[in-house]
Structure 1
């Protein structure tokens, strides 16, 4: 099983009495092996720790944040991305997140499987993640920088013998393809059906 981070929307903050209070968890997205910046941005409005709805753990190893403001924070970030290939994925993300059936009061981020790959206690890693989400600007700057084309390399000097023989070296052309960086933001994987499904819970 791949270690994933899971993103849900919910009407009730997870806790011991969440089910009794009519909790409804809606799958939003999941990501293999790390926590993409899109997930962090969606959790960035008034984030706080909460109990996990996935793991049977008494400690608070999940995070919860405001849904509507989280989407606004993501929109602000996405508006700064001008590369053409990203625009369909941006439109898809905003359309999915603004569907009435997906909207709720809160986002919940479950990263227990990601934390489990580390050596530190799960709750300690969750607190570290919370601190990162509260200070996302450095990661935002790096993410936007990753979408820019690499700087052009200066031409290599032609050797004496190449000049003597009238030869010019043929440099391999490297086409700029930002798609890998675009997908790594956490775009393009929206679904209500996640590995841990709470549809009938």
Structure 2
């Protein structure tokens, strides 16, 4: 995957390394391997949808650019510190993926879960926290009317 910290292309008022770039092909292959290991009853087509979206919008030799400024701006910590923390997390992504798989593993239902079936929304919540179920060409809203 080989992610690299870069200066932002859109937050040009900060010299800090707050963007990340990496090649699409290896990143999507790694994501595919991770998603293939998820054993969760609410997964449905979420993994397939995410991979289909990514593959239809990228080429293996192209690069992803993750612009983090808007997310970093919601925190009081300096951008440079948040960028370093992000890169450290990416360097340890295998540990993060294994921890996510443990959290997603089906657990034996407790008494209340057997009595009251959880809603689809609550059972999908841990998957949505990973970003699954949100892949679309629409950003926030889609305008009605002629195109």
Do these two structures clear the TM 0.5 threshold for a shared fold by scoring above it?
yes
Unaligned runs of 5+ in 1: 1-44, 156-169, 196-201
> Equivalent residue for 2:71?
114
Measured after TM superposition, the shift of residue 114 of structure 1 is 1.7
Measured after TM superposition, the shift of residue 172 of structure 1 is 7.4
Report which of the two has the higher share of helix: 2
- Render the CA deviation track for 1:27-77: whole Å, top value 9, x for unaligned: xxxxxxxxxxxxxxxxxx101111112212222211111110000010010
Q: Is 1:105–2:62 an aligned residue pair?
A: yes
> Equivalent residue for 1:49?
5
> Equivalent residue for 1:190?
135
SS at match of 2:20: strand
- Render the CA deviation track for 1:137-189: whole Å, top value 9, x for unaligned: 23212211222334444x7xxxxxxxxxxxxxx99724355311111111122
- Render the CA deviation track for 1:96-132: whole Å, top value 9, x for unaligned: 1111x43361111112122122222102211110110
Q: TM-score, normalised by structure 1?
A: 0.59
Q: Is 1:73–2:18 an aligned residue pair?
A: no
SS at match of 2:44: helix
Q: Is 1:146–2:103 an aligned residue pair?
A: yes
Unaligned runs of 5+ in 2: 141-147
Report which of the two has the higher share of strand: 1
> Equivalent residue for 2:21?
64
The one of 51, 59, 81 aligned to 1:124: 81
Going from structure 1 to structure 2, the CA distance change for 1:171 and 1:94 (only over 3 Å counts) comes to closer
SS at match of 1:109: strand
Going from structure 1 to structure 2, the CA distance change for 1:175 and 1:123 (only over 3 Å counts) comes to same
> Equivalent residue for 1:35?
none
Q: TM-score, normalised by structure 2?
A: 0.78
The one of 175, 195, 200 aligned to 2:117: 175
Measured after TM superposition, the shift of residue 136 of structure 1 is 1.4
Query: Quick check: which has more Rg, 1 or 2?
Result: 1
SS at match of 2:9: coil
Going from structure 1 to structure 2, the CA distance change for 1:87 and 1:171 (only over 3 Å counts) comes to closer
Aligned residues: 135
